Amino acid sequence: MNIRISELSGSNSCYFERIPEKLVLEGYRRWTSGFETGSVIPWEMAWTLYAEALGVSAGKQALAELSHFIRILQHCAACPLRAFPFGSHHVCREECLTLGLVSAMQNGDEPAAHTCLAAISCSVRCDEVADAARIFADTLADFGQTLLPIPKHAIDDILFRPQRATFH
């Protein structure tokens, strides 16, 4: 499913130019690409992003939590994790759910968090994904990187759209 950034946020690409959203979205894209390709280049790109945004020490800690979250998510995902290429102005279903989950954890939105977890994780392992997402979300928040809230109705809209052809 291809979703334009403006459809998610109601504005132009500036939503993903915010540092918190960029850390989650581009971090997700780069880290999953590293797993998929077996190349360290995307992981080095993620490190650069985090170190530049947060500084070396905070970047190292936040990236470790991102890595843990993505590793757990890959093992517990209900479907293959997909992602657009780095810097794309589109987001796919899994990227939306990941952003929605981290945002919900940071903003105390239990219904949105539950919706994202149910859609992205197998039911047996939702707790593992929730714990990893919460630790990652809390780590970002500790460094002043809080995502904007993503309302549950926006997540529901994404989940109930017809899926298009697959990619990446």
Q: What confidence tens digit (pLDDT) does each residue in 64-98 have?
A: 999 999 999 988 776 778 888 888 888 899 999 99
Query: What's the domain count of the chain?
Result: 1
Backbone φ and ψ for 4, nearest 5 degrees, come out as -75, 145
Q: Please name which of 148, 35, 46 lies closest in space to residue 102, comparing C-alpha atoms.
A: 148
Q: Rounded to whole angstroms, how far apart are CA atoms 143 and 87?
A: 23
The verdict on residue 24 lying in a domain is yes
The whole-model pTM stands at: 0.86
DSSP 125: G
The verdict on residue 165 lying in a domain is no
The verdict on residue 146 lying in a domain is yes
The verdict on residue 167 lying in a domain is no
The verdict on residue 50 lying in a domain is yes
pLDDT band at residue 15 using 50, 70 and 90 as cut-offs: confident
The verdict on residue 152 lying in a domain is yes
DSSP 11: S
The verdict on residue 164 lying in a domain is no
Task: Domain of residue 145: give its range.
Answer: 3-159
The verdict on residue 10 lying in a domain is yes
